[in-house]
Structure 1
Amino acid sequence: MSPPVPLTLYLLTLNCALLPQPPTHLSAAITPTLPTLPPALLLLSLQELAPISASFVGGPRLTQPITALSSAVSAATRSVYGAEAEFELLGWCHVGPTALLAFTPTHSAAAVADVRWASTGLGVGLSVGGAGVGLGNKGAVAVRLLVDGVEITAVAVHFAAHEGAADRRDRDWADMVRTLVFSSSSSDGDGQGDGEEEEGEQEDVQQIYPTTANGHLFVFGDLNYRTSDVRPKGIVGLGVEVPPPNTPRSAWRSWLDRDQLTARRRAGLTCHGLEEAPVTFPPTYKYDLDAPASDDEGGEGREDVFVQNRWPSWTDRVLFLPSPRLEVMAYDSIPSYKGSDHQPVFAVFSIQGGVGEGGGEVVSPPFGVDENWRLRRAVARRGELVVGAAMVAAESAGVCGVLIGVVLVLWGGWWALGGAGAEM
């Protein structure tokens, strides 16, 4: 019997910065990063996909960018693999402006089954009975599925921003592990969260860590960890030498030594049990969208220039749970893409062997399931709908978005939590 064909996975994370993502530009950026053979699964982790108002309410202002990104994937895969290897959108899910898209080849030999989705909000905090409920302005979305019998779990994340919020990001990770839960009713993949259990049905609840020794876990997105605990008032004049963005890794070595994610992960404060391939690319954030146009021959868009009020940082990452069967084939940024103040980051993985052959140890989640995870998401969803609908109305009336957003978050939270405190 011939050995099983390795499974290839392609993962890409992009913070869209609330900007339209032209399919032609994104397709051109993705094309040279694709593996030689079509991957069995292609996954996109997207952050700041659409304004809060649109992403909380849904509708065309959210589905339009999903369609555009799907077109970019289709164009890129056709250009590399030909029309016979057309990729189709298997499904997608979002929480606020954070989304996860899963694509598979139309004529793939790999069998996909048991697809489950989950989401949780990690953003603006509301208190219910002393416990926090996070709205979806920040959050995480996950998919779990079997590919040729191999369990794969992918989690798209967007954690808290700002240099001084490393502790908050650690809490986001802990809250995510507790509340990002797959249930037997979470298999829609239609864009929005979990369903309801049938009365009397036994619920199958699973956390993001693999349930078998042959399972694989990937966490990717804008984790937002920085290279300093304080924000600069302006990089120029501080006596800190900032290398140009596209200089070799050696120029960034001292900056990598200050990377919050690496330090806190090794200290056991976040991303427990996960690893990362060596970071060999320059910081992916934060680039000046108003920088001069590039003079490079054949280049598109602006020059790569860091803004002055953020320390250059590797906010965009791809992490994985190590396994003897898992190999990292590529891990890099895509500096040619100028459609955001973040640079996209991609990774290619190969999973060797068939089911039951040489898997790693089963890793226990560092935190247990929050017993109120479903109620918390439902309560947060109510608040999101109220805030989103009111913000859409306010925008139409020309009211200041920031002011109305603050007021409506407070009011929407009060309304959404009415009567919920006694249940939690």
Structure 2
Amino acid sequence: MRIHLLTFNCGKNEFRDNTALEELSKSVENSLPDDPPEIVAIAFQELTSIRTSFDYNLVHEILLDVNDAIVQRVSEHYQVTYHTLGLTHNGAITLSLLVLRPSRFYNIRTSYLPRGVAFSSLKGGVGIRVAYKSQVINNDDENDKELTFVSCHLNANEGEVNFNRRNQDLNKILSEMDFSDQYSVLKPDSHIFVLGDLNYRCSKVGEVENVSEIDELEKVKGDLDFTEAPIHFAQTYKYIIGTQDTFRTNRIPSWCDRILFLNYQEDLQPEYNSLPELTISDHKPVYLTITVPNTVPFIIYRKPTYYGSLVKTVSKATDTMFRFSMIKKTYLFLLTLAGLYYVTYG
């Protein structure tokens, strides 16, 4: 099965301008492989402004418009009809799955886990889990596949403290995101893909021969069941908006936007790259096309605890508080944010 994945931090764009939406859908088209993949997974972070992100219905409306434009573009590119199999979001973190043959998919599940300040939806992850029927005629499920996709936006900023918080965010998302099938993201016999603005930073500025020399994510890969295709593209953050290759000087250029998958032994024929021509955000989109084998590598699975349910309850209250404070006055929101940040992180 050939799968195409793309992640993009939209920089709170909202795509109310048709020009920006056209640029986005064109870039998605530019990332597509020659032959139509069975699945196209699209992950967005910061799809909307912070204020809009607390309004579920408004985010959903914006996401539908963006998704429809991408579905149309992908379908026209291949001259076949793609269908939206699943679409989910929490705050401004989104995930959608486009497929060629929707009748082959079943058991579609969604989940999310907030990890923002005071467990708000400002950071965290959303996921979609589906089963795929390889043999339709004889109803043989021996070669059926289960696939799990997770869109993440982890803790930001440089420094050891923020690095450790990113690791905590990722660990909680992988182990506590509950898909209501008694498993978290880490489920045996499920092909798992984690993509998004993981926010891992570089330790210095300048060109290097090996990404692992300066990249934070390389420090923790050994503790994960996931790997990544070799990186042969420029850092994806932080650019001056409107430019293809000019970084801002207040941040160390970093590969914040990543796509991870399990440690397969087979050759996945990966194509891993960025799209520098899209200049509407301070991030660049990253895409990956791979061939998924039948065999799923062994992983140490996790069953979620009560943590996820508790966090979701707290998150709804926090988001409501944030939304109310922003409606009243901006300074009240900032005061609330600062207070909850202190309570959360000390």
Give the TM-score, by structure 1 length.
Answer: 0.71
Partner of 1:316: 257
1:257 Cα deviation after fit: 1.3
Q: Secondary structure at the match of 2:270?
A: strand
Query: Is 1:370–2:305 an aligned residue pair?
Result: yes
Root mean square deviation, CA, Å: 2.3
275-284 vs 301-310, which moves further: 301-310
Residue type of the partner of 2:27?
A: A
Structure 1 residues 98 and 302: alpha-carbon distance in aligned structure 2, compared to 1, 3 A threshold: same
Cα-to-partner distance string for 1:231-258 (whole Å, 9 max, x where unaligned): xxxxxxxxx6x4xxxxxxxx44266511
Match of residue 118, structure 1, among 111, 122, 137: 111
- Greater C-alpha Rg: 1
The aligned counterpart of 1:220 is 195
1: CA distance, partners of 2:243 / 2:201: 24
Cα distance in 2 between the residues matched to 1:50 and 1:180: 23
Q: Are the equivalent residues in 1 in contact too, given 2:198–2:258 (CA < 8 A)?
A: yes
How far residue 405 of structure 1 moved from its aligned partner, in angstroms, is 1.8
Structure 1 partner of 2:318: 383
Question: C-alpha deviations, 1:389-418, integer Å up to 9, x for none?
Answer: 442x22xxxx3x3x22233447899xxxxx
How many residues are aligned here? 325
Where in structure 2 are the equivalents of 1:343-422 lying within 5 Å? 343-353=284-294, 359-365=295-301, 369-391=304-326, 393-394=327-328, 399=329, 401=330, 403-409=331-337
C-alpha deviation, 1:333, in angstroms: 0.4
Q: 1:41 aligns with which of 22, 39, 44?
A: 39
Matched, 1:77 2:33: no
The partner residue of 1:167 within 164, 167, 173 is 164
The runs of 4+ residues in structure 1 deviating greater than 6 Å are 410-413
Q: Which amino acid aligns with 2:176?
A: T
Task: Please report how far the alpha carbon of residue 274 of structure 1 lies from its aligned counterpart in structure 2 after TM superposition.
Answer: 0.3
Q: Which runs of no fewer than 5 residues in structure 1 stay unpaired?
A: 1-6, 126-133, 184-203, 230-239, 243-250, 290-300, 354-358, 414-424
Give the 3 Å change call, closer, same or farther, for CA 80–264 of structure 1 in structure 2: same
- Residue 25 of structure 1: SS of its match in structure 2? helix
AA matched with 1:282: A
- Structure 2 residue 38 is the aligned partner of structure 1 residue 65: no
Contact kept in structure 2, 1:47 and 1:97, CA below 8 Å: yes
Please list every run of 5 or more consecutive structure 2 residues that lacks an aligned counterpart in the other structure.
134-143, 342-346
- Asked if structure 2 preserves the Cα contact closer than 8 Å seen for 1:57 and 1:389, the reply is no
User: Partner of 2:146 in structure 1?
Assistant: 151
Q: Please identify which structure carries the higher helix content.
A: 2
Q: Is the 8 A contact 2:236 2:283 kept in 1?
A: yes
Aligned to 1:327, the other structure's residue is in SS state coil
Query: Please, what TM-score do these two structures have when normalized by structure 2?
Result: 0.86
Answer yes or no: is the 8 Å Cα contact 2:175–2:186 preserved in 1. Answer: no
Question: How far is 1:136 from its partner?
Answer: 1.2
1:273-310 per-position Cα deviation (integer Å, ceiling 9, x unaligned): 10000000000000012xxxxxxxxxxx5342100100
Letter in 1 for 2:105: V
Partner letter of residue 31 of structure 1?
Answer: E
Question: What residue is the counterpart of 2:136 in the other structure?
Answer: none
- Rounded to whole Å, the distance in 2 between the matches of 1:279 and 1:137 is 28
2:85 matched residue in structure 1? 90
After superposition, the Cα gap between the structure-2 partners of 1:352 and 1:308, relative to the gap in structure 1 and judged at 3 Å, is same
